[in-house]
Amino acid sequence: MKIHMTSVFVDDQAKAEQFYTEILGFVKKHDVPVGEQDRWLTVVSPDEPDGTELLLEPAGHPAARTYRDTLVQDGIPLAQFAVDDVQAEYERLRGLGVRFTQEPLEMGDVTTAVFDDTCGNLIQIATEPQ
Amino acid sequence: MADDLFKALADPTRRTILDELTERSGQTLFEICSRLSMKHQLGISRQGVSQHLAVLEAAGLVETRREGRYKFHDLNTAPLRQITERWPVPHPSGPEDSTP
């Protein structure tokens, strides 16, 4: 078994596409219309075009709102991405206007930071353990 | 009020939370939980941490602030002044410093 795809609910797929590609730097992999307005929209890391896809899924279900709002209030991230240097990525993203709810925090050999993806979720970035 | 303060300070986990908020004020519940588990190897549930924060908040040592969709916890050391007002600490330039 492999983890081929994972997903986050997003308020607005067009906005999510822009944030995840232009700001975070992912690359769009699939974009297929589903139903009247929804899209099957996935992105991948440019470093791993055949790696795990992230599905930017419309947060239309009423339960999704309660679920995400409660987690965001407590600062809990819904996804985690690996970066080489959390501090450098923090500065780059902040320069692009990204809002962090947790500035870089060194805990032993792991450094993490948490930001708002502007689509209703908090995302954690972490250094990969060496 | 004083009882709330001393009760809040009596617990080592709550003192650790205050230490971590001293390092950086304005933390989400997630950050506080991360610090306790990763830096201090304290295996406390999120509910447990919330309860500790409620005790600290009742003592006025922690204040919560809503900012948009997020909730942050700030440190407020002002209530600690009650301790030195009640039991004054000798001034550093007191008799100890005077050479015989």
DSSP letters of A78-93?
SEEEEES-HHHHHHHH
The total of structural domains in chain B comes to 1
Q: Kindly list the residues from chain B whose CB atom is less than 8 angstroms away from the CB atom of residue A76.
A: 28-30
Asked if A127 and A14 count as a contact pair (C-beta separation under 8 A), the reply is no
B22 in a structural domain:
yes
Please indicate whether, in this complex, the C-beta atoms of B31 and A107 are within 8 angstroms of each other. Answer: no
B99 in a structural domain:
no
How confident is the prediction for chain B on average, in pLDDT? 91
Structural domain for B8, as ranges: 2-87
CA A103, A109, A114: angle at the middle one, nearest 5?
25
Tell me the mean pLDDT in the region B63-77.
96
Tell me the mean pLDDT in the region B57-86.
95
Write the CB contacts of A48 (distance below 8 Å, at least 6 apart in sequence). none
Please indicate whether, in this complex, the C-beta atoms of A75 and B30 are within 8 angstroms of each other. Answer: yes
Q: How far apart are CA A24 and CA A93, in angstroms?
A: 8
Q: Kindly list the residues from chain A whose CB atom is less than 8 angstroms away from the CB atom of residue B31.
A: 75, 101-102, 105, 114
B71 in a structural domain:
yes
Instruction: Say whether residue A108 is in contact with chain B using an 8 A CB cutoff.
Output: yes
B94 in a structural domain:
no
The pLDDT value recorded for residue A130 is 62
* Ordered domains of chain A (ranges, CATH): 5-127 (3.10.180.10)
Return the residue matching tokens 């948009």. B68
Instruction: Say whether residue B51 is in contact with chain A using an 8 A CB cutoff.
Output: no
The pLDDT value recorded for residue B1 is 63
Band of the pLDDT at B14, cuts 50, 70, 90? very high
If contacts are CB pairs under 8 Å, which of residues 60-79 in chain A contact chain B? Answer: 69, 72-77
Closest C-alpha among A91, A126, A89, A90 to residue A108: A126
Per-residue pLDDT tens, chain A, 130 aa: give them. Answer: 999 999 999 999 999 999 999 999 999 999 999 988 899 999 999 999 999 999 999 998 889 889 999 999 999 999 999 999 999 999 999 999 999 999 999 988 899 999 999 999 999 999 976 6
B95 in a structural domain:
no
- Within chain A, where are the H helices? 13-18, 62-73, 86-95
B38 in a structural domain:
yes
Band of the pLDDT at B51, cuts 50, 70, 90? very high
Please indicate whether, in this complex, the C-beta atoms of A102 and B30 are within 8 angstroms of each other. Answer: yes
Report the gap between the CA of B39 and the closest CA in chain A (Å): 6
**CATH number for B61:** 1.10.10.10
Please indicate whether, in this complex, the C-beta atoms of A72 and B30 are within 8 angstroms of each other. Answer: no
Report the gap between the CA of A4 and the closest CA in chain B (Å): 27
B15 in a structural domain:
yes
Which residue out of B21, B34, B40 would a mutagenesis test of the A interface target, given it has the greatest number of A Cβ atoms within 10 Å? B34
ipTM: 0.89
B13 in a structural domain:
yes
Q: Which of B24, B39, B69 sits opposite A107 (nearest CB)?
A: B39
Band of the pLDDT at B94, cuts 50, 70, 90? low
Instruction: Output the DSSP codes for B17-76.
Output: HHHHHHHSSSB-HHHHHHIIIIIT-----HHHHHHHHHHHHHTTSEEEEEETTEEEEEE-
The pLDDT value recorded for residue B96 is 54
pLDDT over threshold 60, residue B77: yes
